[in-house]
Structure 1
Amino acid sequence: MRTVSPPHTWAYALRLPHDPRAARVARMTVRSVLASHGRPEILDTVELLTSEMVTNAYLHTNGPASLRLTALADGRLRVGVWDSHPRIPAPFAHPPHGHVPLAPPDAACGRGLRLVREYADCWGGVALGDGVLDRRAGKLLWFETGVTGG
């Protein structure tokens, strides 16, 4: 049996330990994957936003995280970061066009996710599992960027 998939779609997944170097590993992975698929035009944005999300997973949880890069058929790239904490932060807890208070430029924290709001085309978050027996409990935060030809 032959599997049919839309052209130019692919996915990469990476499990990241709870380690301060996880954001660096995520950035290196993003660079390598996007270079191998000829997507240099979105590299800076994806690298920055991925780094912010993985850093937050490290800072606000005590467990591992997972990174998933998915190229969608229409040219968008979806980046998802899973971690074990169920709380969904702003701006992910609100629709992209809803009012989300921005952290002041001199704030000690909260500026990283502001970048997601500024540079991603869309984003979202979902709580997963019940946290009791479900090892996949936590949350998945994602963003999309990179529509080509438009």
Structure 2
Amino acid sequence: MTLNRPALALGNGPRGVHDARRWIAGGLREMGREDLVEAAEIGTSELVTNALLHGEAPISVTLGGTPEHPRVEVRDASRERPVLPTEPDPAAGHDSAGLDGLEGLDGLDDVLLTFGRGLGIVARAAQAWGADIDEDGKVVWFTPAAEIGEEEAVGTITGESGPSPASGDEQPTELVVEQVPVAAYLSFQRHYRELRREVRLLALAHEQEYPLAKTLSDLFGSLERVLRDDLGADQAERARAQGRPTTDLRVRLRKDDERRLERLSELLDLADAFCREERLLSVARTPEQESFQRWFLAEVLRQAAGEGAVAWETIASRPAAGPQGLPSARSSVS
């Protein structure tokens, strides 16, 4: 079984804690990291318990990072900032009444294992840990330690800042990309956010081991305004809410943004190569995602250069093109 596995969706009941622990332990053993299983199981129990008690559905767990430095991530739909161990915990002193909202009793022992101990136990089971907040909710993560320690690793909250400002006073070029498939476009936005978080957390937790991750994280961050504000993400969200399968996106682009988008296309190919070689534990793009993203980025750059539009419908049936000029994966992340 491949190490690059999609996230595991968890149910609303405490059984989800047991399922998450077993799934994470299985993934670590699969990659030969038996040394991390104990700390990973304990930290996972705490994060999933917190998500069940204080987060919002849907809740999922996954493995990110690399085989050398795997990372446990628990996502829920709440954007509420988690309380770090060094901060006053408003939930301190809660009793078992807090369990009333959980469905079923199967797996309750797993919930009670960590209930009430806060995120301090995660900090002791981790080399590094924190939370990353985005528009879809939050991911609370940790890189498991080889053993449970007495000292608590310092948690870090990321992702709360707004989009990067526009560069200078340059007036953007405005153009229209017609008949964009809404579902494919929103999948592109989600993939970018997930990849940006991946390299950001890899740089945050292990910058010395992966210096390129910091460079990639900075570049992805510089594209935040472009992808969220300038390439029509809000328009696509409105089209989805209205039930429209396609929509015309009015976008704007500056010269600096054009160069960044060209580089983004190369980096998406590079990230896929890492995933397929299992150097990153993320899931690579599907051929359909790759085909659409190549068309959309190329279409924006074509029109910005004054060339004519090429409709998605005319190439949608073609197989995804292979990477052009893809750098060697061996020159990468380490």
What's 2:82 paired with? 89
Give RMSD over aligned pairs: 2.5
Q: Where in structure 2 are the equivalents of 1:12-31 lying within 5 Å?
A: 12=5, 13-31=7-25
Whether the 8 Å contact between 1:88 and 1:126 is mirrored in structure 2 is: no
What fraction of aligned residue pairs are identical, expressed as a percent? 34
Task: Return the alpha-carbon distance in structure 1 between the equivalents of residues 55 and 83 of structure 2.
Answer: 17
**Match of 1:3?**
none
Aligned to 2:59: 65
Question: Contact 1:120 / 1:143 at 8 angstroms: preserved in 2?
Answer: yes
Which moves more between the two structures, 64-73 or 120-129?
A: 64-73
- The one-letter code sitting in structure 2 at the alignment partner of 1:41 is D
- 2:51 counterpart of 1:51: no
Runs of 4+ in 1 over 4 A off after TM superposition: 106-110
Structure 1 residues without counterparts, runs of 5 or longer: 1-8, 92-98, 130-136
| Larger radius of gyration between Structure 1 and Structure 2 | 2
Between 1 and 2, higher relative CO (CA 8 Å, sep ≥ 6) is seen in: 1
Partner SS for 1:117? helix
**Gap change, CA 1:126 and 1:62, over 3 Å in 2:** closer
Cα displacement string for residues 100-146 of structure 1 (whole angstroms, at most 9, x for unaligned residues):
1487xx954652311111221111212211xxxxxxx2111111135
Q: What is aligned with 1:139?
A: 138
2:71 alignment partner in structure 1: 78
TM-score by length of 1: 0.70
Q: Structure 1 residues 19, 34: CA separation in 2 closer, same or farther (over 3 Å shift)?
A: same
Structure 2: runs of 5+ lacking an equivalent = 95-114, 147-334
**Change over 3 Å in CA distance of 1:30–1:51 after alignment to 2:** same
What is the alpha-carbon distance in structure 2 between the residues aligned to residue 146 and residue 114 of structure 1? 14
Query: Pairwise mapping of residues 109-120 of structure 1 onto structure 2 (< 5 A)?
Result: 110-120=116-126
Is the contact between residue 11 and residue 71 of structure 1 (CA under 8 Å) also seen in structure 2? no
Q: Which residue of 1 aligns with 2:36?
A: 42
Number of aligned positions between the proteins: 122
**8 Å contact kept, 2:130–2:142:** yes
8 A Cα contact 2:42 2:125, kept in partner: no
CA distance in 2: counterparts of 1:11 and 1:80, whole angstroms: 14
